[in-house]
Amino acid sequence: MGGEIDVYTLTVIKADTGGFVGHCTVHPASVRVAEEKLSKAKAEGLLIDFCVGKVGDDIALIMTHNGRTDEKQIHALAWETFQATTQVAKELKLYGAGQDLLKDAFSGNIRGMGPGIAEMSFEERASEPLIVFLADKTEPGAWNWPLYKMFADPFNTPGLVIDPKMHDGFTFEVLDLIEHKTARFNTPEEIYDLLLFIGAPGRYAVRYVYKKGESEPVAATSTQRLNLMAGRYVGKDDPVMIVRCQSGLPAVGEALEPFGQPHIVAGWMRGSHHGPLMPVAFDQDTPSRFDGPPRVVAYGFQLCHGRLVGPRDMFDDPSFDTARKQAVEIADYLRRLGPFEPHRLPLDEMEYTTMPQVMERVKDRFMPVEEDEAPENVRPLRSGKR
């Protein structure tokens, strides 16, 4: 792989291995250790290049290499790196040290072991701009709405109308997170079918987007659901997403544009609340108010023979100030509801939090109600009775 036809794999693997303070951010010592590990792997030739990214309490290892997707050595490197950052977290008694590492030993592929992963192999174009989005305090389905806007909504992406290279549309691959099945939908002709599913982001998540008829993805997301994997409440999945841009794909500005209108996602405090997804610059990626609100950062790169030229902080732009302000207004409004839905997630989604344990304790208080037990004065009238 690699060499003359410039095919590379971009792998982004993220995990929360310990928060500073609480679930707010990653300690600089953890970032340093991750950088040391990946520098060594680069010096040894395993990686072409890397960038250690972060959002909130999650570290994201952004790596390019000549291997395939699901390359054992790359996944093992990520696992070892997270072991090392967990060690730092333990030494500093950071919060939730090793939180997302659900298994004791590496088993050949990091999928199913806790960390989230988005990766894709593709032939690097003459110029290859791409954006790695990282979100904290939310779930993989949070990308559904922006991906739809980028690749299927001409009100967001005028290229769909006016660029002959985009006019045919894109194919979305949707994953059913509960039944583990995938389905593909072509846009624009099947947008109504697509929206049936991706409008329910707790259950269905867009996993890949393709140019119609092509096999290389143009966007990929992490779709791991931490709590479903763990079988207990661990935290939200805090997903990542890769979007390739320009020349027949959404322009960089079209890929960023959906985040100019903050949409409401599931996550936030205790992974149990709806809140706005706030686009922020790197120096504002630290959720604090009510452990949030959920936020997203955008790492922009130009790929150059597999080298990651960047990152550029794509949301460090005053034109996103209004979105940030609007996100705060939405947060203020939703917070007024306190423990009531729709601020608190609906009951079926609360199943994956700690709430069922509390419900279990008081469930015996509920007694069956039978019609005949109702007080005399509210007993319903029935012909022949009374």
What is d(CA 350, CA 178) in angstroms, rounded to the nearest whole number?
Answer: 15
Rank residues 57 and 349 by Cβ distance to Mg ion and give the closer one.
57
What is d(CA 154, CA 158) in angstroms, rounded to the nearest whole number?
Answer: 5
Instruction: Say whether residue 269 binds ligand F6R (CB under 6 A).
Output: yes
Rank residues 57 and 139 by Cβ distance to Mg ion and give the closer one.
57
Contacts (Cβ under 8 Å, ≥6 apart) of 50: 38, 39, 41, 42, 61, 62, 63, 64, 308
Residue with tokens 């207990």: 232
Number of residues that bind ligand F6R (CB under 6 A): 9
What is d(CA 185, CA 178) in angstroms, rounded to the nearest whole number?
Answer: 19
Rank residues 235 and 262 by Cβ distance to ligand F6R and give the closer one.
235
Q: Select from ligand F6R, Mg ion, none the partner in contact with residue 58, using the beta carbon and a kind-dependent cut-off of 5 to 8 Å.
A: Mg ion
Instruction: Say whether residue 141 binds ligand F6R (CB under 6 A).
Output: no
DSSP state letters, 13-52: EEE---BBTTTTB--HHHHHHHHHHHHHHHHTTS-SEEEE
Q: Output the CA–CA distances (angstroms, integers) from residue 129 to 187, 251, 259, 309, in the order listed.
A: 23, 9, 18, 9
Closest CA to 29 of 87, 100, 102: 87
Cα angle: 125, vertex 127, 129; to 5 degrees: 105
Rank residues 270 and 343 by Cβ distance to ligand F6R and give the closer one.
270
Which one of 149, 207, 225, 236 is in contact with ligand F6R (CB under 6 A)?
236
Rank residues 186 and 227 by Cβ distance to ligand F6R and give the closer one.
227
Closest CA to 239 of 261, 224, 255: 224
Instruction: Based on the residue annotation, tell me whether 233 is a catalytic residue of this protein.
Output: yes
Q: Is 53 exposed, middle or buried (0-12, 13-18, 19+ CB in 10 A)?
A: buried
Instruction: Based on the residue annotation, tell me whether 14 is a catalytic residue of this protein.
Output: no
Number of residues that bind Mg ion (CB under 5 A): 8
Instruction: Say whether residue 270 binds ligand F6R (CB under 6 A).
Output: yes
Least Cβ distance, residue 95 to ligand F6R (angstroms)? 7
Which one of 27, 137, 295, 324 is in contact with ligand F6R (CB under 6 A)?
137
The one catalytic residue in 8, 14, 16, 210 is 16
What is d(CA 245, CA 187) in angstroms, rounded to the nearest whole number?
Answer: 18
Instruction: Say whether residue 116 binds ligand F6R (CB under 6 A).
Output: no
Instruction: Say whether residue 33 binds ligand F6R (CB under 6 A).
Output: no
The one catalytic residue in 8, 204, 210, 233 is 233
What is d(CA 227, CA 64) in angstroms, rounded to the nearest whole number?
Answer: 29
Which one of 21, 22, 91, 347 is in contact with ligand F6R (CB under 6 A)?
22
Q: Output the CA–CA distances (angstroms, integers) from residue 370 to 188, 375, 380, 382, 386, in the order listed.
A: 52, 11, 12, 15, 18
Rank residues 114 and 129 by Cβ distance to ligand F6R and give the closer one.
114
Instruction: Say whether residue 293 binds Mg ion (CB under 5 A).
Output: no
Site for ligand F6R in 284-303 (CB under 6 A): 291
Instruction: Say whether residue 273 binds ligand F6R (CB under 6 A).
Output: no
What is d(CA 342, CA 127) in angstroms, rounded to the nearest whole number?
Answer: 44
Which one of 235, 239, 306, 310 is in contact with ligand F6R (CB under 6 A)?
235
Instruction: Say whether residue 211 binds ligand F6R (CB under 6 A).
Output: no
Q: Which residues of 116-151 are buried (b: 16+ CB within 10 A; e: fewer)?
A: bbbbbbbebeeebbbbbbbbbbbbbbbbbbbbbbbb
Amino acid sitting at position 268: W
Q: Which stretch binds ligand F6R (CB under 6 A): 26-34, 184-192, 239-247, 264-272?
A: 264-272
Which one of 23, 27, 149, 344 is in contact with Mg ion (CB under 5 A)?
23
Instruction: Say whether residue 343 binds ligand F6R (CB under 6 A).
Output: no
Instruction: Say whether residue 358 binds ligand F6R (CB under 6 A).
Output: no
Q: Output the CA–CA distances (angstroms, integers) from residue 212 to 27, 215, 264, in the order listed.
A: 42, 9, 29
Which one of 49, 124, 237, 238 is in contact with Mg ion (CB under 5 A)?
238
Instruction: Based on the residue annotation, tell me whether 236 is a catalytic residue of this protein.
Output: yes
Least Cβ distance, residue 343 to ligand F6R (angstroms)? 14
Which one of 49, 124, 136, 254 is in contact with Mg ion (CB under 5 A)?
136
Q: What residues make contact with ligand F6R under the rule CB under 6 A? A: 22-23, 137, 235-236, 269-271, 291
Task: Enumerate the active-site residues.
Answer: 16, 233, 236
